Amino acid sequence: MRMSPESSVACAVAYALLAAAVIAFEWRRIRASGPDVISVFVGLFLAQCVFPGIVIYSLLPLCAPGVHTDNVFFDRAYRALDLPAAVLVLALTAWFVVFFQCGAQLGRRLLKLIPGDIPAGSTLVVSISKRWLAIVLCVGTVFTLVSFWLMGDSFVDRYAMLIQVRAHSAETEGNLLASYTLALTQTWGWLAILALFLVRDGRGRHWRWLLCLLLVILFAVLGVSRRAIFIPLALYYFSALLYSSRWRVRLIATALVPVVIWVAFGKEILAAIAFGGKVEVVSSQYQSLAEAGIRASSEIGITLVESLGSINLLDIDPRFGMDHLLSIVHRIPVRIFGFDVTMPERIVRVSTTVFAGSDEEDIPPGLFGQMWLDFGVLGPLFWGILLGVQVSVVQFLYERVWRSRAAAGLCALLVFVVALPVNTGSYDFTFGVDMVTLACVLWLAVRGGLVVYRGTPGWALRAPAGGLGGGST
């Protein structure tokens, strides 16, 4: 049953009602305590899985008889789109939200049963060593700049090389230096955002803040992707939200327009730089504004489009969660110990081959597509509980720490790592070299300790400026 314009509008209304229900529930839950870690995850989920659905299904009737997004996979997914698949993904989305909240509450209750909780009359103070963070950022900056310098003879050649590596061009196969430089750029960028947030406390913050801002811009530019720009912005926003409990709706509305424009046209601009072509023709690649809007919404809500593709185009046996174990096993460097183990093909490559061809860069199955491949209608139960419990661990920490920029930045960063599968449905990217490096840096830089308090514990307390939470340990 193909999607009629009426069905598409009905799906858009259904996504809007779902968004309203989630926001109303979350607003009631945090009315007294203010936004927390769960709120950050819900915000990321809405931005990637619900709001794009509203826009996509609202614009689809304006693109009849077909959608031309200048993306092979998107166009194929929309050509195969039918009403049962759209309703199924919507249902999986709604049930995931329900089971995620159940998992978050379950995890919090189970964690309270663990012996060794913070004793009464004290609170946990989290600090991040600025010294360690500065050392790591210096090393990362030097490594990135030296690697970038060795990639070509001119700035344009080097930058084109990075873009080609990002696009998995055959011309750059085997270039490990460029690959590792690109992979770790995200790590250095996220740490620079954390440093940018931390240095607002203490003396000499002005020049340090400008230096950190320069590093953020550097890593965003060398990240040669759209997400290298708007993810650090989102990370900084949510860190500030956890610290100040202010939503800053006007700021979001102001930043939304340039972000959407960059998402819609950024990839083509980068491709024109790397592979030749005129940037002027990028604006004329869409036949209408509706198609440009669908392309931008599809990039932001790519997990929805991937899920529709998985349900309509993938015909494989149930996975029962094996892909998540393989995501970990594939990262174990057994070959350096002399073992030659043949691993099953990753689901990300299986879906890529079906969606667009084996030569294309990774196209994961999407969150709802993967949960459907894993356990069918029970997929939201498994995934909701799994991610809910993970977020509850960060929430458990959040509820017990002294309010500081360090604690807020750390909690926001941890939620971003937990939420990575929301965008893909795969843990391949959670256990990548960039996330392993990030975990090692945090292990070196983060410190914690108990202090005796007077008055109200936890997040009701604010660390003094320049004191706890931002200083060196």
473 part of a folded domain: no
**Domain of residue 246, residue span:** 5-460
Q: Please tell me what DSSP assigns to residue 298.
A: H
* 106: pLDDT strictly greater than 90: yes
pLDDT value for 465? 37
451 part of a folded domain: yes
Q: Please tell me what DSSP assigns to residue 47.
A: I
Sign of the alpha-carbon dihedral angle for 388, 438, 36, 23: negative
Q: Which of 155-164, 287-296, 417-426 has the highest mean pLDDT?
A: 417-426
How far apart CA 165 and CA 176 sit, in angstroms, is 10
Cis (ω within 30 of 0) for the bond into 344?
Answer: no
9 part of a folded domain: yes
Q: Find how far residue 433's CA is from the centre of its chain.
A: 16
351 part of a folded domain: yes
344 part of a folded domain: yes
Instruction: Work out the pLDDT band at 125, boundaries 50, 70, 90.
Output: confident
- 223 close to 229: Cβ distance less than 8 angstroms: yes
Count of structural domains, the chain: 1
* 275: pLDDT strictly greater than 70: no
Instruction: Work out the pLDDT band at 201, boundaries 50, 70, 90.
Output: low
Instruction: Work out the pLDDT band at 225, boundaries 50, 70, 90.
Output: confident
* Sequence-ordered list of residues with C-beta below 8 angstroms from that of 236, at least 6 positions apart, any chain: 193, 196, 197
470 part of a folded domain: no
Please tell me the pTM assigned to this model.
Answer: 0.88
- 100 close to 421: Cβ distance less than 8 angstroms: no
pLDDT value for 168? 64
Per residue in 84-104, pLDDT tens? 999 999 999 999 999 999 999
Decide which of 186 and 177 is more confident.
186
Q: At residue 303, what are phi and psi to the nearest 5 degrees? A: -65, -30
Decide which of 122 and 170 is more confident.
122
| 188 to 175, 196, 228, 439, 441: CA distances (angstroms) | 20, 12, 11, 12, 10
Decide which of 465 and 76 is more confident.
76
* Sequence-ordered list of residues with C-beta below 8 angstroms from that of 39, at least 6 positions apart, any chain: 26, 30, 241
* 281: pLDDT strictly greater than 70: no
Query: Mean pLDDT throughout 409-419?
Result: 95
Which of 369, 363, 370, 391 lies closest to 322 in space, CA to CA? 370
How high is the mean pLDDT of the chain?
84
DSSP per-residue codes, 429-440: TTTSHHHHHHHH
- 451 close to 469: Cβ distance less than 8 angstroms: no
Which of 191, 130, 134, 198 lies closest to 406 in space, CA to CA? 198
Sign of the alpha-carbon dihedral angle for 306, 312, 317, 318: positive
Instruction: Work out the pLDDT band at 454, boundaries 50, 70, 90.
Output: low
| 197 to 151, 194, 313, 413, 470: CA distances (angstroms) | 32, 5, 44, 12, 9
* 118: pLDDT strictly greater than 80: no
Per residue in 325-380, pLDDT tens? 888 877 776 555 555 566 778 888 899 999 988 777 789 999 999 999 999 999 99
Query: Mean pLDDT throughout 184-202?
Result: 87
Query: Mean pLDDT throughout 142-155?
Result: 86
At 209 the three-state DSSP class reads: helix
426 part of a folded domain: yes
346 part of a folded domain: yes
Which of 73, 40, 83, 465 lies closest to 241 in space, CA to CA? 40
pLDDT value for 289? 82
Q: Which residues pair with 124 in a beta bridge?
A: 401, 450
Q: What is the residue type of 437?
A: T
pLDDT value for 340? 59
- 447 close to 126: Cβ distance less than 8 angstroms: yes
Residue 27 burial (10 A CB sphere; 0-12, 13-18, 19+) = exposed
* 469: pLDDT strictly greater than 80: no
Least confident piece of the model among 36-50, 265-279, 313-327: 265-279
